[in-house]
Amino acid sequence: MSDNSIADQPESARPTGAPGLSYNDPAFAERYGVKRGMSRTRKITLALVGFAVLCGVVGYIAWNEANPQIQAEVISYSVDGTSINVTFQVNKSADQRVECTIEAEDVKGSVIGSANVVVPSGRAQEDMVYTVNTTGTPNTAVVSSCTAVS
């Protein structure tokens, strides 16, 4: 008795699934329901479209982060004991009303005072002066955020 398995047979002697059909033959796929994968061209096209969409989304987010609609910066400040007098400038749309948060920091960078300041609508560039009371001696002031309010 010989132990001949299909794996030991040469490839030309192995069964093909049906007489006269090979695995690569379209008739074989049609007859036995073997589905072919996507073509290489289709895979590359889908990958390129997906990459382009991803780049567009990342570019849009980066552009909005780099060019915010509301910008604010501290122009100057002066310390007076336990308060700090802050002059800051806000650039926004002329019809927007904005609320900015000003924070006073000590030498270590800890926030020792903060205030929310409403910037009225009417002008696109607005200079504001506000005094922030603190719990210690302030070292600097920052405009931490500005958001549009209705």
Greater model confidence, 107 or 12: 107
Is residue 14 predicted with pLDDT exceeding 90?
no
Greater model confidence, 60 or 17: 60
Give the 3-state secondary structure of residue 91: strand
Q: If pLDDT is split at 50, 70 and 90, which confidence band does 103 have?
A: very high
Distance, CA of 79 to CA of 29 (rounded, Å): 83
- The predicted model scores a pTM of 0.58
pLDDT at res. 93: 87
Averaged confidence pLDDT in the chain:
85
Q: What are residue 145's DSSP bridge partners?
A: 101
The rounded percent of the chain whose pLDDT value lies above 90 is 56
Domain ranges of the chain: 19-66, 71-149
Domain spanning 71-149, CATH class: mainly beta
Distance, CA of 24 to CA of 30 (rounded, Å): 11
Distance, CA of 114 to CA of 133 (rounded, Å): 8
- Pairing, β 125-133 against β 83-91: antiparallel
Greater model confidence, 18 or 107: 107
Alpha carbon dihedral 111, 115, 119, 120, in 10-degree steps, equals: 170
Is residue 143 predicted with pLDDT exceeding 90?
yes
pLDDT at res. 52: 97
